[in-house]
Amino acid sequence: MHSFPAPALALVEQMTASAAQEPARAISFQGAPGANSHRAALEYAPESLPLPCFSFEDALDAVKAGRAGAAIIPIENSQHGRVADIHFLLPESGLSIVGEYFLPISHTIMGIGPGPYSAAYSHPQALGQTRHYLRSHGIVPMAYADTAGAAAYVKEMGDPTACAIAPRIAADLYDLTVAAEGVEDAHDNTTRFVVLAKEPLDPATLEGEPAMTTFVFEVKNVPAALYKALGGFATNGVNMTKLESYQAGASFAATMFFVDIVGRPGEPNVDRALEELKFHSKSVRLLGSYRMARERG
């Protein structure tokens, strides 16, 4: 908690105290108050008690330790791709995905004065999503742990040549001047969040509703292993909406794949596809089945 800039600490302490009174209602998120993850928590569950955490690991640990009933974590952005490290953190957390939420992203430039600015602080995702604006204005991007934390840091520094890229609400929370709004490079910019809890949803409870299932797997080290592992999804008509690879360990010999499919265990075509996947894979781990928040395809 004390890694947050001083202007954010009072708000963090208040929100942490409120969450401690009713941890089952708490939703942990990474970032200072005013971050996009804070917005996502409030929009996904308006009656929740958002619990700010300094890192993704802290947000996941809050659920594991019982300080929060769920965590809401950004997993990918329509413009800048997947959120770094999240594919490692989700399987390692031992938590299950129980929901998803899509948040339209709009970035605001803010500082203690109206500018001009020479440096912009924000989360690397936000910096990547505003790179054209920053380049055209001669502003150097400076990575920070989260967007709203960057706003609090700019307030703490008191440097009129520094600005933050953060949600509009952060300017109000930290008494900063808004210099420009809507500076994202693409105005359909959207971030997908997943909601994690200790216990998975029973796939049977999703019957009759559009559902998603997320899992990770490692193929056997034989020729055409990936082709064979994925063939069952094609032959059984299961729509795969995401397939991303990442290395497990430093040997570069074990490739893990992170997958989203439309459907859930208990549906015959999904069961057949997963069975074929398991036959051709070294390991398969389901991360959760949950209600689809946005139509795919």
Taking the whole predicted model, whether its pTM rises above 0.95 is answered as no
Check if the beta carbon of residue 232 is closer than 8 Å to that of residue 272. Answer: yes
Q: What is the pLDDT of residues 81-101, one digit of tens each?
A: 777 677 778 888 999 999 999
- Specify whether 235 is catalytic: no
Mean pLDDT of the chain: 92
In the set 108, 130, 147, 191, the catalytic residue is 191
Catalytic residue among 29, 54, 56, 193: 193
DSSP-assigned letters across all residues of the chain: -TTS-HHHHHHHHHHHHHHHH-GGGEEEEESSTTSHHHHHHHHH-TTSEEEEESSHHHHHHHHHTTS-SEEEEEEEETTTEEPTTHHHHHHHH--EEEEEEEEE---EEEESSS---SEEEE-HHHHHHTHHHHHHTTPEEEE-S-HHHHHHHHHHHT-TTEEEEE-HHHHHHTT-EEEEE---S-TT-EEEEEEEESSPPPGGGGTTS-EEEEEEEEE-SSTTHHHHHHHHHHHTT--EEEEEEEE-SSSS--EEEEEEEES-TTSHHHHHHHHHHHHTEEEEEEEEEEE-SS---
Band of the pLDDT at 251, cuts 50, 70, 90?
low
Determine the pLDDT at residue 255. Answer: 80
Q: Parse the chain into domains and list their residue ranges.
A: 6-105+190-197, 108-181, 206-290
Q: Over 70: is that where the pLDDT of 252 sits?
A: no
How confident is the model over 257-291, as pLDDT tens digits? 999 999 999 999 999 999 999 999 999 999 999 99
pLDDT score of 297: 65
Residue 86: what pLDDT? 77
Report residue 156 CA to chain centroid gap.
27
From 3.20.20.70, 2.60.200.20, 3.40.190.10, 3.90.1150.10, which CATH number describes the 108-181 domain?
3.40.190.10
Q: What is the pLDDT of residue 247?
A: 77
Q: Quick one: pLDDT at residue 84?
A: 63
206-290 matches 6-105+190-197 in CATH topology: no
The predicted structure's pLDDT at residue 182: 95
- Is 233 assigned a catalytic role? no
Class of domain 6-105+190-197: alpha beta
- CB half-sphere exposure, 200, CA atoms < 13 A: 19
Q: CATH for 206-290, among 3.30.70.260, 3.40.50.150, 3.90.930.12, 3.40.50.720?
A: 3.30.70.260
